[in-house]
């Protein structure tokens, strides 16, 4: 008998769905309260006005407001529902969630207007245009977050923002990790932000949802106990990340704090518990969930270690969203056969272990933070596509002709880079003019790491050109 | 009133890009500035025109199995001529079009049009048809390019790469930067897909509303 | 250019469909059957790989020495279409089953932007023979991957209540855009 798998969430009646969503809300409330309180108290100590201190609260409110209005207007004008249907529809559409999750995931430095734009995009493109609740393929909040941070990333860390204080929204632990090329001592990687307890209880920089791991854990237990969550996904997701980072730590002679650090930093716990388990965009079958979780773990570690972007959770979840029907198919096929289950699990475990070793190999090989991505020859010059782990990541095209760098075109710079400083100091022209003696060129204060990254990029291009193309 | 209605239909009905979704490869890649889009549209029109003429002349003499290969050779010849000319007279344009210039050869629009129309009709009709198709396509690609460039760079570059040939530059900034901030994302591939998707959706809904009247 | 980063780059961050826009016609037209996606992928991989090698050799030993580089476009497209015809004939004759699996897609591949595109990119980036092979292989795998993933998504999208003006191509393009954004984050892998 062949079963066909339909879209999630699979519930017997609409009451069940609302039960799930209500429990989810309950679970989120302590986390929200904590984050708001934390930001208020810290900023209050630094003597900023109450209005600015309450920014986290405003972020959440404006995001929720935008989502609901967007969905309301959409169903009114585009779906052309009449008044009676509209009420019923809005009750079961859970419009607040894309906005709410967006506010909990987006960097704290984001201007409120962008938060609203993000919520708008999340609701409109992430959810409504694909057919509304239950039909979206990608996690709406993450879609909105990704689109907004990619489109307007420079505003998220620009000087136009008052939240540029050292303890808030500045370098997150993962961004800091990237600067040490991913392995280092306890002091360098963990210690800068406090002890492990700081990580667990959330007194470290990070987005609204992710910092307090303890509360997330409590929420998880609550959600499992009330049978509202697909527990296999977070369990296997986090274990996989643990195992892979454990392999890395073993081969580099680092203690067990390293994998613990990885689990406790960034959006991993929050993403695993709240976003990867979104009933619409995750597998239904038990085995499917297991494999899905493992896949997420593999992707996240690959992204964290091998790409310049410090955090991998967002991209991994969005990527795996595409594969959901595949995992459900597999889950259905093997649900009755223990042997087949064993085979699949073994394959995945092998993948996990090899990921650990591959990451390790790539770590030791590349000890410079600048990478040459591609070299293209045009008429009489060479264009180098470079990526540089500055503060965050910069990708740029450096054009070199006859041994002289003639232009540096920035393709992309991540949200952590304070790009406005570079532009206002005309730094790129300074680099091009001073390329014969870059070591003596000063970095711009406040953006030293980015300045150094740019210099290193140009230096590497000149060096590589001299090695390969100069005759 | 009636004349305007006809213009809209003329531009959009059977529009190779918007109605039939052909030739997207080159379109999405090239539409980062108005000028690039316009140049590409013009190139496609020219190649289509000459290829149609030749194909409509020789189609009776070609057997069925040899159709596609022989037509490709015809198209490729004209594309090569275009390549050589551009390389000689305007290197900036040649480089702006990049690898998508030779790819006009396999552009579904040209092959599709040639197969479905020029091979079955006389030269005169083929000329008119290919001109219409080319204009529709150019219009579509320029529309997309304008949207992407305005949203992505707050500018409209009409003559830049061609300046060597024509002797002047022409570009505009559209909105004052205090009101509207452009975003780089529209110039990336993701932006291209999403912009075209939304544009198509909007065009479809306009057409649907027109039909239901 | 290191071969391994080149390989992964051609699959992920510079994916031939999502980044270079080549091969969109089959991408949009793929049904929601995963099997046909895989079959198309295999055909494309085969054609691209062999064409890359052939065109590289011809470019190096025939076109450059005789200073007829401008004939690239013509020459390459001839090579590709001839090769595809050959393969079709051979398959038809010697392996009916393989022909049935791959054959329907072969003629389409000739006019597929992706094949000519990959070949041209190889030449224009001045890749050596090993690099060309790696890039060709990686690009085709990237092509197959994207088409496959999209066919998975197609299943769900076809059943969803999307508004009529967006059904079909518009929503597919928007989904592709999100996919493009996701793939572009894999830079440096």
Instruction: Confirm whether C67 is domain-assigned.
Output: yes
Three-state helix/strand/coil letters over A117-146? HHHHHHHHHHHHHHCCCCCCCCCHHHHHHH
Separation CA A333–CA A341 (nearest Å): 9
Torsion A50-A52-A56-A59 (CA) sign: positive
- pLDDT of B213: 46
pLDDT at A259 over 80: yes
Half-sphere exposure of C16 (CA within 13 A, CB side): 38
With CB atoms and an 8 Å threshold, state whether C112 touches B106: yes
Q: Choose the final residue of a domain: A168, A199, A218.
A: A168
pLDDT at A291 over 60: yes
Instruction: Confirm whether C22 is domain-assigned.
Output: no
DSSP string, A28-93: HHHHHHHHHHHHHHHHHHTT--HHHHTHHHHHHHHHHHHHHHHHHHIIIIIS---HHHHHHHHHHH
The residue-averaged pLDDT of A335-358 equals 82
- pLDDT of C104: 62
Q: Please check whether residues A309 and A399 belong to one and the same domain.
A: no
Separation CA C142–CA C18 (nearest Å): 9
Separation CA B61–CA B106 (nearest Å): 23
Nearest to A128 by CA among A82, A84, A58, A66: A66
Check if A152 contacts B (Cβ < 8 Å): yes
Name the minimum distance, in Å, from the CA of B43 to any CA of chain C: 16
pLDDT at A317 over 90: yes
pLDDT at C178 over 90: yes
The residue-averaged pLDDT of C79-87 equals 81
Q: What is the pLDDT of residues A396-426, one digit of tens each?
A: 788 887 778 788 877 766 555 556 666 766 7
User: Please, which residues 393-452 of chain A have a Cβ atom closer than 8 Å to chain C?
Assistant: 393, 395
Separation CA B11–CA A420 (nearest Å): 44
Percent of chain A with pLDDT over 90: 8
Q: Which of A109-123, A190-204, A399-413, B101-115 has the lowest mean pLDDT?
A: A190-204
The CB density around residue A192, as the number of other CB atoms within 10 Å, is: 12
- Max mean pLDDT among A212-216, B69-73, B143-147, C112-116 falls in B143-147
Structure-derived torsion over alpha carbons of residues C139, C143, C149, C152, reported in degrees to the nearest 10: -160
Three-state helix/strand/coil letters over B54-112? HHHHHHHHCCCCCHHHHHHHHHHHHHHHHHHHHHHHCHHHHHHHHHHCHHHHHCHHHHH
**Residue A285: domain span:** 169-366
With CB atoms and an 8 Å threshold, state whether B108 touches C111: yes
- pLDDT of A331: 86
Of C107, C116, C176, the CB nearest to B105: C116
Q: What is the pLDDT of residues A295-310, one digit of tens each?
A: 999 999 888 888 777 7
Which chain A residues are Cβ-neighbours of B91 within 8 angstroms?
Answer: 379
- pLDDT of A193: 67
Q: Mutation test of the interface with chain C: which of B201, B208, B212, choosing the one with the most C Cβ atoms within 10 A?
A: B201
With CB atoms and an 8 Å threshold, state whether C187 touches A324: no
Residue A407 pairs with which residues in a beta bridge?
A: A399
Which chain C residues are Cβ-neighbours of A131 within 8 angstroms?
Answer: 157, 160-162
Three-state helix/strand/coil letters over B129-149? HHHHHHHHHHHHHHHHHHHHH
Separation CA C85–CA B72 (nearest Å): 14
ipTM, interface predicted TM-score of the complex:
0.88
Separation CA A74–CA A92 (nearest Å): 15
Q: What is the largest CA-CA distance in chain A?
A: 78
Separation CA A134–CA A7 (nearest Å): 7
Residue C21 in contact with residue C128, Cβ under 8 Å?
Answer: no
**Cβ-based contacts under 8 A for chains A and C:** 97
* Residue A247: pLDDT band with limits 50, 70, 90: confident
* Residue A161: pLDDT band with limits 50, 70, 90: very low
Which chain A residues are Cβ-neighbours of C175 within 8 angstroms?
Answer: 130, 137
From B92, which residue of chain A is nearest by alpha-carbon distance?
A379
The residue-averaged pLDDT of C116-129 equals 85
- pLDDT of A218: 86
- pLDDT of B3: 47
Which chain B residues are Cβ-neighbours of C28 within 8 angstroms?
Answer: 21, 24
Give, for A371, the enclosing helix (H) or strand (E): strand A370-377
- pLDDT of A15: 61
* Residue B167: pLDDT band with limits 50, 70, 90: low
Q: Please check whether residues A260 and A145 belong to one and the same domain.
A: no
Q: Mutation test of the interface with chain C: which of A7, A81, A125, A137, choosing the one with the most C Cβ atoms within 10 A?
A: A137
- pLDDT of C142: 92
With CB atoms and an 8 Å threshold, state whether B91 touches A152: no
Q: Please check whether residues A358 and A394 belong to one and the same domain.
A: no
- pLDDT of A169: 39
Which chain C residues are Cβ-neighbours of A375 within 8 angstroms?
Answer: 1, 125
- pLDDT of A316: 92
With CB atoms and an 8 Å threshold, state whether B192 touches C177: yes
- pLDDT of A44: 57
Which chain B residues are Cβ-neighbours of A155 within 8 angstroms?
Answer: 181
Of A150, A307, A376, the CB nearest to C188: A307
The number of folded domains in chain A is 3
With CB atoms and an 8 Å threshold, state whether A387 touches C174: no
pLDDT at A13 over 60: no
Non-local (6+) Cβ contacts of C142 within 8 A are C10, C11, C12, C15, C16, C17
Average pLDDT, chain A: 77
Check if B191 contacts C (Cβ < 8 Å): yes
With CB atoms and an 8 Å threshold, state whether B95 touches A151: no
pLDDT at A320 over 90: yes
pLDDT at B9 over 90: no
- pLDDT of A96: 85
**A266 CB burial (10 A radius; 0-12, 13-18, 19+):** buried
**Helix, strand, coil % over all residues of chain A, rounded to 5:** 65, 5, 30
Name the minimum distance, in Å, from the CA of C48 to any CA of chain A: 21
- pLDDT of A29: 86
With CB atoms and an 8 Å threshold, state whether A379 touches B91: yes
- pLDDT of A401: 79
* Residue A168: pLDDT band with limits 50, 70, 90: very low
Q: Which of A256-270, A276-290, A363-377 has the lowest mean pLDDT?
A: A363-377
Between residues A167 and A284, the one the model is more confident about = A284
From B85, which residue of chain C is nearest by alpha-carbon distance?
C70
* Residue B120: pLDDT band with limits 50, 70, 90: confident
Check if A251 contacts C (Cβ < 8 Å): no
The residue-averaged pLDDT of A353-375 equals 69
pLDDT at A243 over 80: yes
The residue-averaged pLDDT of A34-40 equals 76
Between residues B50 and A169, the one the model is more confident about = B50
Average pLDDT, chain B: 80
With CB atoms and an 8 Å threshold, state whether C120 touches B102: yes
Check if A131 contacts C (Cβ < 8 Å): yes
Task: Supply the pTM of this predicted model.
Answer: 0.82
Copy the structure tokens of residue B181: 């901030």
Check if A380 contacts B (Cβ < 8 Å): no
Number of H helices, E strands in chain B: 9, 2
Non-local (6+) Cβ contacts of C117 within 8 A are B25, B99, B103, C16, C20, C22, C23
The number of folded domains in chain C is 1
User: Please, which residues 44-103 of chain A have a Cβ atom closer than 8 Å to chain C?
Assistant: 78-79
Three-state helix/strand/coil letters over C34-48? HHHHHHHHHHHHHHH
Separation CA B18–CA B24 (nearest Å): 10
Backbone conformation region of residue A48, classed left if phi is above 0, alpha if psi is from -120 to 50, else beta: beta
Name the minimum distance, in Å, from the CA of C63 to any CA of chain B: 14
* Residue B168: pLDDT band with limits 50, 70, 90: low
With CB atoms and an 8 Å threshold, state whether A377 touches C124: yes
pLDDT at A461 over 60: yes
Residue B156 in contact with residue B195, Cβ under 8 Å?
Answer: no
Residue B158 φ then ψ, to 5°: -95, -45
Q: What is the DSSP letter of C76?
A: H
pLDDT at A186 over 90: no
Q: Please check whether residues A233 and A223 belong to one and the same domain.
A: yes
Q: Mutation test of the interface with chain C: which of A130, A319, A359, choosing the one with the most C Cβ atoms within 10 A?
A: A130
Residue whose tokens read 């591609």 = A374
Q: What is the DSSP pairing of strand A394-401 with strand A404-413?
A: antiparallel
Residue A399 pairs with which residues in a beta bridge?
A: A383, A407
Residues of B near A (Cβ–Cβ under 8 Å) read: 91, 95, 181, 183-185, 188, 190, 194
From A149, which residue of chain B is nearest by alpha-carbon distance?
B185
Instruction: Confirm whether A5 is domain-assigned.
Output: no
**A149 CB burial (10 A radius; 0-12, 13-18, 19+):** buried
**Cβ-based contacts under 8 A for chains B and C:** 134
Q: What is the pLDDT of residues A92-104, one digit of tens each?
A: 778 888 888 998 8
- pLDDT of A144: 92
Q: What is the pLDDT of residues C61-72, one digit of tens each?
A: 776 666 666 777
Residue A140 in contact with residue A127, Cβ under 8 Å?
Answer: yes
- pLDDT of B146: 87
With CB atoms and an 8 Å threshold, state whether B73 touches C24: no
Instruction: Confirm whether A8 is domain-assigned.
Output: no
Residue A387 pairs with which residues in a beta bridge?
A: A371, A395
Separation CA C100–CA B179 (nearest Å): 59
With CB atoms and an 8 Å threshold, state whether C186 touches A315: yes
Between residues A191 and A124, the one the model is more confident about = A124
Q: Please check whether residues A51 and A107 belong to one and the same domain.
A: yes
Separation CA B76–CA B51 (nearest Å): 9
The residue-averaged pLDDT of A444-465 equals 73
- Max mean pLDDT among A172-186, B153-167, C20-34 falls in C20-34
**Residue C143: domain span:** 39-176
Separation CA A129–CA A135 (nearest Å): 9
Instruction: Confirm whether A245 is domain-assigned.
Output: yes
Of A129, A322, A393, the CB nearest to C153: A322
- pLDDT of A414: 58
With CB atoms and an 8 Å threshold, state whether C182 touches A131: no
Separation CA B171–CA B142 (nearest Å): 15
Residue A292 in contact with residue A283, Cβ under 8 Å?
Answer: yes
Instruction: Confirm whether C85 is domain-assigned.
Output: yes
Report the interhelical angle of C129-159 vs C34-58 (nearest 10°).
160
The CB density around residue A317, as the number of other CB atoms within 10 Å, is: 27
Name the minimum distance, in Å, from the CA of B48 to any CA of chain A: 28
Check if A458 contacts C (Cβ < 8 Å): no
Which chain C residues are Cβ-neighbours of A6 within 8 angstroms?
Answer: 159
Name the minimum distance, in Å, from the CA of A270 to any CA of chain C: 20
With CB atoms and an 8 Å threshold, state whether B25 touches C117: yes
Q: Please check whether residues A414 and A377 belong to one and the same domain.
A: yes
Copy the structure tokens of residue B183: 């975003």
Q: Choose the final residue of a domain: A335, A366, A397.
A: A366
- Max mean pLDDT among A89-103, A129-143, A418-432, C74-88 falls in A129-143
Instruction: Confirm whether A10 is domain-assigned.
Output: no
């Amino acid at each position: 008998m062949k079963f066909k798998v339909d879209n999630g969430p699979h519930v017997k009646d609409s009451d069940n769905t609302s039960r799930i969503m209500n429990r989810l809300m309950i679970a989120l409330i302590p986390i929200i309260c904590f984050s708001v309180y934390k930001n208020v108290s810290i900023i209050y100590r630094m003597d900023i006005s109450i209005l600015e201190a309450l920014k986290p609260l405003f972020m959440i409110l404006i995001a929720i407001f935008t989502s609901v209005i967007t969905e309301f207007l959409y169903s009114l004008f585009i779906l052309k529902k009449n008044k009676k249907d509209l009420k019923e529809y809005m009750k079961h559409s859970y419009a607040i969630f894309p906005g709410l999750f967006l506010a909990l995931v987006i960097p704290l430095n984001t201007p409120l207007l962008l938060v609203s734009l993000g919520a708008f995009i999340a609701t409109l493109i992430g959810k409504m245009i694909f057919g509304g609740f239950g039909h979206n393929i990608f996690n709406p909040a993450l879609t909105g977050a990704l689109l907004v941070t990619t489109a307007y990333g420079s505003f998220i860390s620009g000087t136009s923002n008052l939240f540029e204080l050292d303890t808030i929204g500045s370098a997150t632990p993962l961004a800091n990790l990237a600067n040490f090329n991913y392995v280092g001592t306890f002091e360098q990687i963990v210690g800068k932000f406090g002890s492990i307890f700081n990580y667990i209880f959330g007194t470290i920089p990070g987005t609204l949802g992710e910092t307090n791991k303890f509360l997330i854990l409590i929420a998880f237990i609550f959600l499992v106990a009330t049978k509202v969550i697909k527990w296999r996904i977070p369990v296997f997701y986090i274990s996989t990340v643990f195992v892979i980072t454990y392999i890395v730590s073993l081969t580099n002679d680092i203690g067990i704090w390293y994998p613990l650090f990885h689990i406790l930093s960034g959006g991993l716990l929050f993403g695993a518990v709240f976003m990867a388990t979104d009933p619409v965009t995750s597998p239904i079958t038990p085995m499917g969930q297991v494999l899905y979780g493992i896949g997420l773990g593999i992707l996240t570690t690959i992204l964290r270690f091998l790409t310049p972007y410090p955090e991998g959770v967002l991209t991994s979840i969005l990527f795996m969203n595409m594969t959901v029907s595949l995992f459900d198919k597999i889950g259905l096929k093997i649900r009755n056969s223990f042997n087949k289950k064993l085979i699949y699990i073994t394959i995945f475990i092998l993948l996990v272990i090899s990921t650990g070793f591959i990451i390790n190999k790539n770590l030791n090989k590349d000890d410079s933070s600048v990478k040459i991505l591609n070299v293209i020859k045009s008429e009489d010059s060479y264009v180098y596509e470079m990526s540089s782990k500055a503060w965050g990541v910069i990708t740029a095209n450096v054009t070199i002709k006859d041994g002289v760098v003639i232009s540096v075109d920035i393709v992309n710079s991540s949200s952590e880079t304070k790009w406005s400083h570079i532009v206002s100091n005309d730094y790129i022209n300074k680099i091009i003019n001073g390329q014969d003696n870059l070591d003596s060129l000063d970095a711009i204060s406040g953006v030293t790491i980015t300045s150094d990254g740019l210099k290193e990029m140009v230096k590497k291009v000149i060096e590589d050109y001299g090695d390969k193309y100069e005759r | 009133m009636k004349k305007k209605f006809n213009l809209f239909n003329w531009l959009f009905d059977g529009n190779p890009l918007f109605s039939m979704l052909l030739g997207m490869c080159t379109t999405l890649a090239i539409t980062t500035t108005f000028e690039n889009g316009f140049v590409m549209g013009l190139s496609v029109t020219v190649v289509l025109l000459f290829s149609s003429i030749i194909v409509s002349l020789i189609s009776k003499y070609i057997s069925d199995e040899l159709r596609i290969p022989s037509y490709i050779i015809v198209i490729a010849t004209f594309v090569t001529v275009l390549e050589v000319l551009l390389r000689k007279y305007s290197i900036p344009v040649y480089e702006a079009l990049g690898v998508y210039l030779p790819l006009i050869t396999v552009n579904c629009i040209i092959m599709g049009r040639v197969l479905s129309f020029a091979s079955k009709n006389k030269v005169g009709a083929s000329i008119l048809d290919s001109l219409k198709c080319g204009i529709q396509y150019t219009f579509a690609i320029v529309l997309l390019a304008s949207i992407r460039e305005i949203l992505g760079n707050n500018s409209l570059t009409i003559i830049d790469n061609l300046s060597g040939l024509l002797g002047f530059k022409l570009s505009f900034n559209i909105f004052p930067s205090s009101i509207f901030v452009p975003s780089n994302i529209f110039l990336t591939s993701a932006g291209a897909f999403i912009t075209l998707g939304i544009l198509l959706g909007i065009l479809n809904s306009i057409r649907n509303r027109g039909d239901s009247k | 250019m290191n071969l391994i980063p080149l390989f992964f780059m051609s699959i992920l961050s510079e994916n031939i469909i999502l980044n270079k826009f080549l091969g969109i016609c089959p991408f949009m037209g793929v049904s929601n059957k995963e099997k046909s996606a895989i079959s198309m992928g295999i055909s494309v991989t085969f054609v691209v790989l062999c064409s890359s090698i052939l065109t590289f050799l011809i470019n190096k030993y025939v076109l450059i020495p005789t200073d007829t580089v401008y004939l690239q476009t013509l020459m390459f497209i001839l090579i590709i279409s001839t090769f595809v015809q050959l393969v079709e004939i051979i398959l038809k004759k010697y392996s009916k089953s393989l022909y049935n699996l791959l054959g329907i897609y072969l003629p389409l591949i000739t006019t597929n932007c992706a094949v000519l595109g990959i070949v041209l990119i190889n030449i224009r980036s001045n890749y050596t023979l090993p690099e060309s092979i790696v890039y060709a292989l990686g690009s085709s795998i990237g092509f197959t991957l994207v088409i496959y993933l999209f066919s998975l998504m197609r299943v769900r999208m076809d059943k969803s209540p999307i508004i009529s003006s967006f059904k079909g191509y518009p929503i597919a393009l928007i989904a592709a855009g999100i996919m493009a954004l996701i793939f572009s984050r894999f830079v440096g892998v």
